[in-house]
């Protein structure tokens, strides 16, 4: 090492760079060496996705958008989980030409060992106000980065500009033109549009 290199301190990352690096580090830690390696990170992500996506989004192509991967790669991941008995194909009652992917009982049991649980517990341990602010910040970053990359933003009905709650009974989705039940309201959706940008 040269004398000059020994004397010059390494440049310190600014706050934004450090935050971005921390996010990537956290994501890597979830599936690090001490995690449950029964499934690959992509398989865990797929299993988790199909357990939390709504009936409009439980397709391999929607998963490919969520996982920011190609349709071919997403399809291979789904097929591998079907072969393991963790996912299965069901007829889509809204569109007989397509199928929906559902998590099997074995898949739900496997999710009990999800390596993401350690991070969930760490987040749950935060004081409520910090947790809420953290979730709001991450949601904002997700929306901003998706806009930057021209990819869909995934979110839930309660925060969606397509969700109409003015009716007398259940909420209504103006995008899919469907009534929304409790399960729909709590699930991830590929058609989500952040309320600040989507509500008209």
Binding site for ligand SF4 (CB under 6 A): 54, 56, 156-157, 160, 162-163, 173, 175-176, 184, 189, 191-192
Rounded to a whole number of angstroms, the minimum distance from the CB of residue 51 to ligand SF4 is 17
Task: Give 147's contacts (C-beta < 8 A, 6+ positions apart).
Answer: 153
Rounded to a whole number of angstroms, the minimum distance from the CB of residue 46 to ligand SF4 is 20
Rounded to a whole number of angstroms, the minimum distance from the CB of residue 86 to ligand SF4 is 25
Give whichever of 168 and 177 is closer to ligand SF4, judged by the CB atom.
Answer: 177
Q: What does the block give as tokens for 108?
A: 């739900």
Q: 11 by DSSP, 3-state: which?
A: coil
Rounded to a whole number of angstroms, the minimum distance from the CB of residue 183 to ligand SF4 is 11
Query: Which is nearest to 114 in space by CA: 23, 25, 45, 62?
Result: 45
CA 67/CA 48 separation, integer angstroms: 11
Give whichever of 76 and 139 is closer to ligand SF4, judged by the CB atom.
Answer: 139
Task: Give 15's contacts (C-beta < 8 A, 6+ positions apart).
Answer: none
Task: Give 65's contacts (C-beta < 8 A, 6+ positions apart).
Answer: 151, 152, 154, 190
The helix or strand, by DSSP H or E, that contains position 58, with its residue range, turns out to be none
Give whichever of 51 and 173 is closer to ligand SF4, judged by the CB atom.
Answer: 173
Cβ neighbours of 42 (radius 10 Å): 18
17 and 102 Cβ atoms separated by less than 8 Å: no
Give whichever of 37 and 98 is closer to ligand SF4, judged by the CB atom.
Answer: 98
Query: Which is nearest to 36 in space by CA: 102, 111, 103?
Result: 111
Rounded to a whole number of angstroms, the minimum distance from the CB of residue 94 to ligand SF4 is 12
Give whichever of 55 and 110 is closer to ligand SF4, judged by the CB atom.
Answer: 55
Give whichever of 114 and 184 is closer to ligand SF4, judged by the CB atom.
Answer: 184
Rounded to a whole number of angstroms, the minimum distance from the CB of residue 53 to ligand SF4 is 10
């Amino acid at each position: 090492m040269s004398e000059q290199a020994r004397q010059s301190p390494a440049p310190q990352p600014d706050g934004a760079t450090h935050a971005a690096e921390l996010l990537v580090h956290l994501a890597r830690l979830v599936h690090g060496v001490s995690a449950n390696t029964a499934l690959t990170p992509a398989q865990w992500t797929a299993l988790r996705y199909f357990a939390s996506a709504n009936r409009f989004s439980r397709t391999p192509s929607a998963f490919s958008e969520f996982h920011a991967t190609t349709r071919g790669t997403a399809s291979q991941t789904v097929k591998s989980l079907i072969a393991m008995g963790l996912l299965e194909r069901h007829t889509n009652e809204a569109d007989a030409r397509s199928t929906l992917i559902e998590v099997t009982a074995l898949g739900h049991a496997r999710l009990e060992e999800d390596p993401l649980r350690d991070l969930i517990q760490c987040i749950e341990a935060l004081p409520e106000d910090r947790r809420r602010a953290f979730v709001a910040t991450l949601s904002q970053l997700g929306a901003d980065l998706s806009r930057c990359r021209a990819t869909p933003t995934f979110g839930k009905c309660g925060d969606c500009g397509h969700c109409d709650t003015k009716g007398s009974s259940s909420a209504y989705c103006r995008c899919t033109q469907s009534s929304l039940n409790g399960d729909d309201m709590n699930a991830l959706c590929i058609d989500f549009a952040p309320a600040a940008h989507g509500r008209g």
